[in-house]
Structure 1
């Protein structure tokens, strides 16, 4: 991960960076995985408490992205919970540990903001990434945007 840094994007403070961030998400989810843009970009993008994270290389290129949103699970969710999602890395930067950098920084950010639990919907083939951070699978595999997912959670 040397030569890369994880940057939290707060609101509209860095418009040039937010555009790079969304370009990475579109490249991975919409172009590569064929997720419909109306699913990929949702109402939570600008919601209060949403955290966007970009991974930048030394040249300032955005190589990866991730997002943390406040989650209201109702009575089944008795502690302050966040939902981690939209974790992605451009093809040319895969295998460098950037997924771990993204997840680790978002967990750290969730702790700093007072969250006690994180849930996520993992694509089945990358569950191992989240298990490294203590996430446990719960429930059955389900289809989300045409891709097999499983819900995972961790107390932080």
Structure 2
């Protein structure tokens, strides 16, 4: 397994990231395509992980003033538990710091809260539902 994680800077790599999102969120989790593709992709920085040429994980970062909103973090089911989510998050954190952001915020699916807690995120809301799935807002100070 030769995993590499990149900032998706070309149309092709962004399309690869979107393919992973469709497989995980639309097909596996049954989230509607309309909810998944919220019209904000154009203003986000995209991230994608590859195993060779195969896209296997993705995420995006939306800049909102001095805060980054981490969104759409996903790993294909056959690659989960292999620390690939950590690689994507590491690159998002590095990119956010390079952009001078003060903090990151995300809406974690309840099942993913322990993953984000290990990365230093703290829960900052009650549980709420997004796309019919329980979530909590979580924040990470970068400095």
Structure 1 residue runs of 4+, over 6 Å off?
none
Q: What is the CA–CA distance in structure 2 between the aligned matches of 1:154 and 1:35, rounded to whole Å?
A: 26
Q: Deviations over 1:23-51 (max 9, x none)?
A: 1000000010011111111221002xx21
Q: What is the CA–CA distance in structure 2 between the aligned matches of 1:151 and 1:18, rounded to whole Å?
A: 26
2:3 equivalent to 1:4: yes
Q: Deviations over 1:70-127 (max 9, x none)?
A: 125xxxxxxx101001000001111111111111110111001110100000001111
* TM-score (norm. length: structure 2): 0.95
Deviation at 1:18, TM superposition (A): 1.9
- List aligned pairs for 1:1-40, cutoff 5 A: 3-10=2-9, 14-40=10-36
Q: What is the CA–CA distance in structure 2 between the aligned matches of 1:18 and 1:68, rounded to whole Å?
A: 13
Equivalent in the alignment of 2:87: 101
Bigger radius of gyration among the two: 1
Say which of 53, 63, 68 aligns to 2:47: 53
* TM-score (norm. length: structure 1): 0.87
Q: What is the CA–CA distance in structure 2 between the aligned matches of 1:29 and 1:142, rounded to whole Å?
A: 18
Q: What is the CA–CA distance in structure 2 between the aligned matches of 1:18 and 1:35, rounded to whole Å?
A: 20
- Cα RMSD of the aligned pairs, angstroms, is 1.1
**Number of equivalences:** 142
- List aligned pairs for 1:47-126, cutoff 5 A: 47=43, 50-57=44-51, 59-71=52-64, 80-126=66-112
Give unmatched runs, 5+ long, in structure 2. none
Give unmatched runs, 5+ long, in structure 1. 73-79
